[in-house]
Each structure stands twice: as structure tokens, then as C-alpha cells.
Amino acid sequence: MSDTETPIQPASRRVFIKTYGCQMNVYDSDRMADALAPRGYVPTQEIGEADLVLLNTCHIREKASEKVFSELGRLKDLQGEKRAAGGDLMIGVAGCVAQAEGEEIARRAPVVVMVFGPQAYHRLPDMLDRAQAQRHLHPSLKRAVIDTDFPQEDKFEHLPPAKKEVTIKRGLTAFLTVQEGCDKFCSFCVVPYTRGAEVSRPVAQILGEARNLVEAGVKEITLLGQNVNAYHGLDAAGRSIGLGELAFLLADIPGLERLRYTTSHPRDMDDALIAAHRDLPLLMPYLHLPVQSGSDRILKAMNRKHTAADYLHLIDRIKTARPDMALSGDFIVGFPGETEQDFEDTLTIIRQTGYASAFSFKYSTRPGTPGASLGDQVQEEIKTERLHRLQELVNNQTSAFHASCVGKTLPVLIERHGRMPGQVGGRSPYLQAVHLEGSTDLIGAIHQVEIIGTSTNSLEGRLVAAAA
Ligand code: SAM
Ligand code: SF4
């Protein structure tokens, strides 16, 4: 009997899933909860009431994996308390730290009974059975169940469909993974090793999942992938289609009002996708397009295979197609060999591009990547100082972008109660948080809102016209 054919058991156990890192992990955590539902597990937000705790980990920077080991120390104490009270707690580690460190996790933290990578979570019920079967063994005979294979089968095919009641709880916006893994091998990055080769989901699977989400009340979908615009899934006729064409197919789903995607690579931004931004009003004018550095020398050492000028030219093409496109990016400071001039080149490309927001990181050496064996590592204090200068520039650009919205009327998807009584909150097309006075009846639709003020992280608005 396969995992998905497991007889449904009454909900009696609770699982607490702690998610680290990117949105793809958020999506994966929801799928793990779906995979466990037939075994009678319901998700809980209270770690104290959990029978099973899963840490869905991130390995992108060093601090991310160290956090996991500190958390395992705390969980060991919690397990001790539960056992003293006659209960128990099972602990599993999933995600990219699990993929990268495998057995090492079980060796360093014997409290862990399951270690499994991002490609194995559809086998979670089976792993759980194998871990539970060892329950009454002498501790010296117990072995953690480890599954870090990259399977041939399609994990998405083997998962139960996302439950509608779970989806409703997720609200009006949802993530949908369309592509995983990466073949680009940037010299600083662990993703090709932890997530494996680039794989795209078939079109029919994505359209089916999107329809289910919309039926359950979702108005806005964000398509996810490590390199989402490298998407090349097969359609029913066996034809490979790209993200631009996929966006057109998704746009035909009645009730889907907004579409976003992340994270994109500059080299995969093709004409069809740019045309989709020109022609599809539901494709939001906000694009996360990391460049990492503005120095051609460093871009070459990073193996990015594009120059600063290529990036700027691409931005011009995108803005010609969609003049109000707001941009976001990722930057790494202190890559090995980065000089003050290289860093200045990064500040220059930020000034030339003009970002609505950006994420920036100090370079973190990842064992096994080509960057780890490069000489000329940049001193920590220099990285810190450069990061501060870069973040100051980006923060000023974010404030300027917010200020440029004041006086405009924007469509805002109202998603929730606001921070203050009588307020509601939502998102602008440019992913900015917007707060306004208004009744909770506004929640669930896109309304016209005049922007009347800004604060550091959000906009203040006034309702102009409620949706019909
Ligand atoms: N595929 C996307 C791209 O190529 O732009 C990025 C995905 S990666 C998971 C997210 C971000 O983490 C990267 O854009 C990069 O800025 C950052 N990152 C990756 N490895 C890093 C490292 N070793 N040190 C610091 N930041 C890193
Ligand atoms: Fe990592 Fe992105 Fe480079 Fe792939 S393209 S190796 S995910 S930074």
C-alpha cells in the first residue's frame, strides 16, 4: 500500500512544524502537514502540545544551520519534561540542513529520530512508521531513519492534494511550487547540492493545484522556485512551456486575481515572460531579480554568467514592457577577493537600478561549494561595514519608493484586520503593506485605496471605492 493510500485515522495527534529560510520551505511545511493528515496528525502552533516536532531547515548561510542545533538542545529538554509527565515527543529534521548533513545530525543530536531532505517528505508517513517501530528497542539499538536520496518518482504526485479546509486557513494568498532545484552552480551557493538538479512540475499538476486554491478562496498565488523563471514544464501535448506561457494559462482561471513569482535569475528572464508582464494585468508589477554584485570581476568569480551591463539592459527591457515595475534584489557583500572598488560598483548598480526593496547578506562560506576554497576571504569587520553602507542606501531607496506612492490610488487586496481597531490591512500591487480605516467587510477583495502617508515598512491609505 502506498503512502497516499494510507487509511485515514481520526485526528488525535499534533504536529508542530518550525520553518526556517525561504518561501519554498513554507510551502514544503504545508505539504508535510498534508502528508501527515491521513495519519491523524493535525498541525498545532503550540509546541508544548505537540507529539511530533519537525524542523524544516535552511542551509543557505552558516548561522541558519547552527540555529537548528541550538533548537534541538531545547527540544531535548522539552522531550525530557514530556516523558517525566508520562507523555512523549518525536523529533525530526527536514529540509536542506538534513540533506547536507544527514547522519551527522543524528550523531550530534541523538534525540532526532528522522532526518530527511526536501525531496523525501512525501515518504514521511512511512518514515514515521519506521521510527515508531523502534520505540520499545533498547536505546543502543535505535537508529534514526535517514532519507536523503533524490528519488526518481515525482514527490508532488505522491502527496495528497492540499486540503481545502487547510487552504482556507492559509487565507487569500498562497504559495505554489512550480520548479525546484538548480543547475547554475553559483560558486557561493549550496542549493544545487541540497535541492538537486532543476526539475519543473507538469503544467496540468500546477493548473489543478491552482484551481483547488482558487476554489478554496485564494485570490493571489505566488509561484515558487529556486529559479522560478527557469521553469520548463510539459503540457498535455508533451510540449515544454516556459513561465511566461504558464502565466497566460493561469490567468484563464476564473477567480484568480493576482499572480506573482519568485525567485528569478536574470539569465532566465526571456521575451515571453517580459511579454506576459506587458499583457497580463493579473501579473503583479513587482519583480525579485537578484544581481548579487555590481562588479563584473566578482560576478565572474561567482559564476553568475552575466555582467552588470547585461542586468541593467534587462531592467530597461522589463521597464519598457511594464513601466511601473518595482524591483527587488539580493546582494552578497564580502565575496572572496571583493575590493572596495568592487563594492563601490555594487552601490553603483543599486543607484542605477533603484530598488523598491532588497535583501542583503554577508558572504557565508558554505563547505563543499567552490567559493569555500577561494583564498582572499574578506575580514568580518569589513563585511559588516559594507553591509551597513549597502543597507542604508537600499533603505533610502525603499523610503523614496514608498513616498512616490503618496497621492496615488492603488488597488489593494484587503487580507486582514489592521493593527488598530477599525483598521484593515492588505497589499499593494508592489507588495507593500497598506493599512486603512475600514470595515472588516472589505476583507477578501481588491479595493481602490488612495495612499495618504508612509511609515518605515508600510503605507497608510484611505478607501476611495469599495469593490462592487
Ligand atoms: N536563485 C536565486 C538567484 O540566483 O538569484 C537565489 C536563491 S538563494 C536561495 C537566495 C539568496 O541567498 C541568494 O540570492 C544570495 O543572495 C543568498 N546566498 C546564497 N548563498 C549565500 C552565501 N553563501 N552567503 C551569503 N548569501 C548567500
Ligand atoms: Fe544558488 Fe540561485 Fe545561483 Fe542556483 S542560481 S546556485 S539557487 S544563487
Task: Specify the pLDDT at position 171.
Answer: 83
Task: Specify the pLDDT at position 16.
Answer: 97
Ligand 1 pocket residue status of 188, Cβ below 6 Å: yes
Q: What is the mean pLDDT of residues 194-219?
A: 94
Q: What is the mean pLDDT of residues 265-275?
A: 97
Burial (Cβ within 10 Å: 0-12, 13-18, ≥19) of residue 299: buried
Task: Specify the pLDDT at position 1.
Answer: 39
Using CA positions, which residue lies closest to atom 14 of ligand 1?
Answer: 330
Task: Specify the pLDDT at position 112.
Answer: 94
Atom nearest to 330 CA in ligand 2: 8
Task: Specify the pLDDT at position 169.
Answer: 47
Atom nearest to 182 CA in ligand 1: 1
Does residue 3 have a pLDDT over 60? no
Q: Shortest CA distance to 315 belongs to which of 266, 373, 382, 279?
A: 266
Task: Specify the pLDDT at position 154.
Answer: 63
Q: What is the mean pLDDT of residues 434-448?
A: 95
Q: Please give the residue that has the higher pLDDT: either 48 or 137.
A: 48
Rounded Cα distance between 31 and 10, Å, is: 19
Torsion of CA 351, 321, 178, 149, to 10 degrees: -40
Atom nearest to 265 CA in ligand 2: 5
* Cell matching residue 137: 528497542
| Alpha helices, H only, 184-270 | 191-194, 203-215, 243-251
Task: Specify the pLDDT at position 11.
Answer: 61
Q: Shortest CA distance to 17 belongs to which of 64, 62, 59, 53?
A: 53
Rounded Cα distance between 433 and 419, Å, is: 12
Atom nearest to 192 CA in ligand 2: 6
Ligand 1 pocket residue status of 289, Cβ below 6 Å: no
Ligand 1 pocket residue status of 226, Cβ below 6 Å: yes
Atom nearest to 291 CA in ligand 1: 5
Measure CA 142 to chain center.
34
Q: How far is the CA of 111 from the centre of ligand 2 (A)?
A: 33
Task: Specify the pLDDT at position 418.
Answer: 86
Does residue 2 have a pLDDT over 80? no
Does residue 46 have a pLDDT over 50? yes
Task: Specify the pLDDT at position 48.
Answer: 92
Torsion of CA 145, 147, 148, 153, to 10 degrees: 180
Q: How far is the CA of 432 from the centre of ligand 2 (A)?
A: 26
* Cell matching residue 432: 507593500
* Cell matching residue 159: 502527496
Quick one: what percent of the chain has pLDDT higher than 90? 78
Burial (Cβ within 10 Å: 0-12, 13-18, ≥19) of residue 458: middle
Task: Specify the pLDDT at position 422.
Answer: 92
Residue in 184, 268, 306 to alter for ligand 2 test, most ligand atoms within 8 A of Cβ = 184
Q: How far is the CA of 407 from the centre of ligand 2 (A)?
A: 39
Beta bridge partners, 465, equal 448
pLDDT band of 133, cuts 50, 70, 90: confident
Question: Which residue is listed with cell 502527496?
Answer: 159
Task: Specify the pLDDT at position 152.
Answer: 56
Q: Shortest CA distance to 187 belongs to which of 350, 336, 64?
A: 336
210-260: per-residue pLDDT in tens? 999 999 999 999 999 999 999 999 999 999 999 999 999 999 999 999 999
Three-class SS state of 81? helix
Q: How far is the CA of 334 from the centre of ligand 2 (A)?
A: 17
What interhelical angle do 340-353 and 308-321 show, nearest 10? 10
Does residue 373 have a pLDDT over 80? yes
Residue in 20, 198, 330, 363 to alter for ligand 1 test, most ligand atoms within 8 A of Cβ = 330
Judged by average pLDDT, the poorest of 31-45, 54-68, 128-142, 266-280 is 128-142
Does residue 80 have a pLDDT over 70? yes
Task: Specify the pLDDT at position 166.
Answer: 40
> Any idea which ligand is nearest the CA of 188?
1
Q: What is the mean pLDDT of residues 353-374?
A: 95
- Could you tell me if 135 and 144 are in contact, meaning their C-beta atoms sit under 8 angstroms apart? no
Q: How far is the CA of 226 from the centre of ligand 2 (A)?
A: 7
328-355: per-residue pLDDT in tens? 999 999 999 999 999 999 999 999 999 9
Using CA positions, which residue lies closest to atom 5 of ligand 2?
Answer: 184
Q: How far is the CA of 188 from the centre of ligand 1 (A)?
A: 8
Atom nearest to 22 CA in ligand 1: 9
Rounded Cα distance between 113 and 52, Å, is: 10
Q: How far is the CA of 186 from the centre of ligand 2 (A)?
A: 5
Ligand 1 pocket residue status of 296, Cβ below 6 Å: no
pLDDT band of 64, cuts 50, 70, 90: confident
Using CA positions, which residue lies closest to atom 7 of ligand 1?
Answer: 226
Q: Shortest CA distance to 411 belongs to which of 449, 357, 368, 354?
A: 449
157-184: per-residue pLDDT in tens? 666 555 544 433 458 999 999 999 999 9
Rounded Cα distance between 186 and 291, Å, is: 12
Q: Which of 3-7, 192-196, 372-376, 448-452: highest mean pLDDT?
A: 448-452
Residue in 25, 58, 59, 60 to alter for ligand 1 test, most ligand atoms within 8 A of Cβ = 60
44 phi and psi, to 5 degrees? -130, 150
pLDDT band of 74, cuts 50, 70, 90: very high
Q: Shortest CA distance to 398 belongs to which of 363, 435, 350, 362?
A: 350
* Cell matching residue 250: 493561469
Task: Specify the pLDDT at position 279.
Answer: 97
Task: Specify the pLDDT at position 383.
Answer: 97
Q: Shortest CA distance to 446 belongs to which of 427, 432, 433, 430?
A: 427
Q: What is the mean pLDDT of the chain?
A: 91
Task: Specify the pLDDT at position 419.
Answer: 82
* Cell matching residue 367: 563547505
